Amino acid sequence: MPDSGYVLLTGFEPFGGDLLNPSALLAERLHGSEIKGVRIASACLPVDLARLPVEIERLLDGPSPRAIVNLGLAAGRTAVAVERVAVNALDFNIPDNAGQQIRDRPILPDGPAAYLSRLPLRQSVERLRARGIPAYISDTAGLYLCNACMYLVLHTLAQRGWDIPAGFIHVPFILEQTAQQEAPRASLPLDMLTLATGILVETALAETQTQPLRQVLSSTE
């Protein structure tokens, strides 16, 4: 029986005083499920700059997954945000979970200024909207751990020459969180974000299937 590979899906642990992080819940919920015949393998990343690169390295220390979708929480956002770009910079508004508050430093001193998402951005947003889920393409993933995660993953792919769909998605608070807030910020239901994550993985995989053809064409030039 042929192995159809897997999709790597990650979330982050809670940070900044929150008791939960919806991105970790989403990764956990979808772990082991199959989308278009491809199994999802999930992981929860640390909000800790010292440990993040080690963990990403470890997760990618095998054969290439079919696609990578990294999730994170963006407090105050109103919709699912498909990130366009990861910038080679760290500038934390709050300390990470290890207490480090980095300002104005590159992620990789010799790395390129930025990586553009390898997800089909517009197609992702259109499919989400068609299913009734508010979504947009975001022009900044911030300069905290989420952006660093996106940058490090895309840098690793570039280093290894893995031509797979990969990118970062910011999700809003979920209702369980804002129902506790005196002045509630924007939020969406966890069930809707679960559906959204599935659609995003599916859209990434749909894109993947055109890759082999392209590679064949390139190799004959």
Write down the catalytic residue from 57, 146, 182, 202. Answer: 146
Q: Tell whether residue 137 is a contact of a copy of itself (CB under 8 A).
A: yes
- 170 neighbors 141 (Cβ within 8 angstroms): yes
Among 21, 156, 187, 203, binds a copy of itself (CB under 8 A): 187
Residues in contact with a copy of itself, counted by CB under 8 A, come to a total of 46
Stretch that binds a copy of itself, among 1-9, 54-62, 82-90, 205-213 (CB under 8 A): 82-90
Q: Is 182 labeled as catalytic in the residue annotation?
A: no
Q: Is 146 labeled as catalytic in the residue annotation?
A: yes
CB of 84 to a copy of itself, least distance (A): 6
Q: Tell whether residue 184 is a contact of a copy of itself (CB under 8 A).
A: yes
- Partners of 168 in beta bridges: 70
Cβ neighbours for 182, distance < 8 A, ≥ 6 positions apart: none
| Pure H helices in the chain | 22-30, 52-59, 121-130, 145-160, 175-178, 190-208, 211-219
CB of 191 to a copy of itself, least distance (A): 9
Q: Which is nearer to a copy of itself, 61 or 104 (CB)?
A: 104
Q: Tell whether residue 194 is a contact of a copy of itself (CB under 8 A).
A: no
Contacting a copy of itself within 22-81 (CB under 8 A): 78-79
Q: How are beta strands 67-73 and 166-171 bridged, if at all?
A: parallel
Cβ neighbours for 107, distance < 8 A, ≥ 6 positions apart: 88, 89, 90, 148, 151, 152
Catalytic residues: 83, 146, 170
